[in-house]
Structure 1
Amino acid sequence: MKEEFYTRGRWQNWINKIKESGFTLQESEEDPSAAVFVYAMDDVVLACLKVIARCEHGTITKEEAISTIDEIREIVSERDDSLGEDATLMLESLNASLSAVFLASQRYIDGGYDQKTPLADMVRKAATAEEAGRMEEALGILSDIGARVIGGEAVPEEAFAELPYCMTAELLDGIDAISAAQVGDDSYKEDDGSEDDGEDA
């Protein structure tokens, strides 16, 4: 039986927690209820990293790994109209950031990405491509950046600081979440599929 790395039930748990949080957008101060979105993102990122680890252990093929990332993307992109306007906007932002995680994961699995250009230069190239309306090019560059982050590199802090608010910046938030997950619980790296806890959030 095919293993499920991420289920609809797991994502629904996060949707329920978002509803329970009573999240609202606040201009004057950061809303503590926003933390649930960070936790949800981390959960999805770790699922993707687990898929990659299984692929590197040879438990699943590259094709199966790429297909599984697509399945996770489909699960988390489903809308829930009962969240309310503020939470829906935040969830859309989360999904935008996660799109970079999915693209980066698949690019890393597939291989053949740019491993030489300095990451700060690549961030600038992605932002320039977006500004010129070449979003497909920007996404390709960001996929390469994310793949290298999965491989252990880090995007320089100044590269984030130089960016205006744009889609490239939002996508880089997702790539930054990969870095954060990798310095946290890294038990997924040794997970070869011999034991599966199967726990939901």
Structure 2
Amino acid sequence: MLMFYSEERWNNWINQVKESKFKFDPSAEGLGREGIVFLDMEEDVILAICKITGKLQNKYITKEDAAANLENMKRIILSPVEPIDPDKDEMIESVQRALVAVFGAAEYFVAGDFDPKADPTKLIIDAFKAEEAEDMDKTFELVSKAGALVLAGKSFDSEKALDKVAPDSLVAEGIDGLDSIAAVLAGGIDYTDEADDEE
């Protein structure tokens, strides 16, 4: 079975974070030049996830292989990372939280457990209502189903969704992950190319 992501690949990103001079700067907009590593590591994981779902969609791999690969990636990426320093640790955890929603989206996509006619933006708004009601299972399910729709190619209005949710909510972090899926897919992926696949 082809593997789409390895422990070594994740550890390379962690090493890049260790070598970066990243510190939170309240006066700066965004993460700054040193913070780009966190965006890149998240995008790299999402690219691998999109390759799995895309290859399944194009019948290059089986549903079983797709599910096994996702499980392997989750084990690698969502495991606790040894502390580096408070700022970097917080950012790694933020990346992991955004990726939880992406993994959920991919799992619902692989299982075919979503309504292809649903509107991902509406699902996200409903997910925030569920979060406000402290129904976290429902929150995760709705964010994941919205993500499955984005993986299937449905357009997603993240700005409209962000207008309706609190910026410090779990759903807002989920939107970050869904936005990244849309950006990676928009960049185009060659599903016949196995150069990035891990043997």
Partner-residue secondary structure (3-state), 1:112: coil
Query: Structure 2: any 5+ residue segments left out of the alignment?
Result: none
**Cα drift, residue 198 of structure 1:** 4.4
Q: Could you tell which deviates more after superposition, 75-84 or 165-174?
A: 75-84
Q: Aligned partners of 2:57 and 2:33: how far apart in 1?
A: 37
Q: Could you tell which deviates more after superposition, 157-166 or 142-151?
A: 157-166
Q: Could you tell me which amino acid in structure 2 is paired with residue 176 of structure 1? A: D
Assess, with a 3 A threshold, how the Cα gap between structure 1 residues 141 and 82 changes in structure 2: closer, same or farther. Answer: closer
The residue that corresponds to 1:110 in the other structure is: 111
Q: Aligned partners of 2:48 and 2:196: how far apart in 1?
A: 12
**Where do residues 1-201 of structure 1 align in structure 2 (5 Å cutoff)?**
2-29=1-28, 30=30, 31-156=32-157, 157-165=159-167, 166-184=169-187, 186-188=188-190, 190-191=191-192, 196-198=194-196
**Cα drift, residue 158 of structure 1:** 1.3
Deviation string, structure 1 residues 23-60 (Cα, Å, up to 9, x no partner) = 11111103321110111011000101111122223332
Partner-residue secondary structure (3-state), 2:96: helix
Deviation string, structure 1 residues 124-180 (Cα, Å, up to 9, x no partner) = 210010111101001111111001111111222211222112001111111110001
Q: Aligned partners of 2:149 and 2:161: how far apart in 1?
A: 15
Q: Aligned partners of 2:89 and 2:3: how far apart in 1?
A: 26
Partner-residue secondary structure (3-state), 2:81: coil
Q: Could you tell me which amino acid in structure 1 is paired with residue 163 of structure 2? A: A
Q: Aligned partners of 2:135 and 2:76: how far apart in 1?
A: 28
**Cα drift, residue 108 of structure 1:** 1.0
**Contact 2:38–2:92, Cα closer than 8 Å, also in 1:** yes
Q: What is the aligned-residue identity percentage?
A: 30
Partner-residue secondary structure (3-state), 1:103: helix
Q: Aligned partners of 1:132 and 1:82: how far apart in 2?
A: 33
Q: Could you tell me which amino acid in structure 2 is paired with residue 148 of structure 1? A: L
Deviation string, structure 1 residues 100-125 (Cα, Å, up to 9, x no partner) = 11110111111130233433321221
* Structure 1 segments of 4+ aligned residues over 4 angstroms from their partners: none
**Cα drift, residue 14 of structure 1:** 0.5
Q: Aligned partners of 1:175 and 1:103: how far apart in 2?
A: 11
**Cα drift, residue 199 of structure 1:** 7.3
RMSD: 1.7
Q: Aligned partners of 2:116 and 2:195: how far apart in 1?
A: 35
Q: TM-score, normalised by structure 2?
A: 0.90
Q: Could you tell me which amino acid in structure 2 is paired with residue 187 of structure 1? A: I
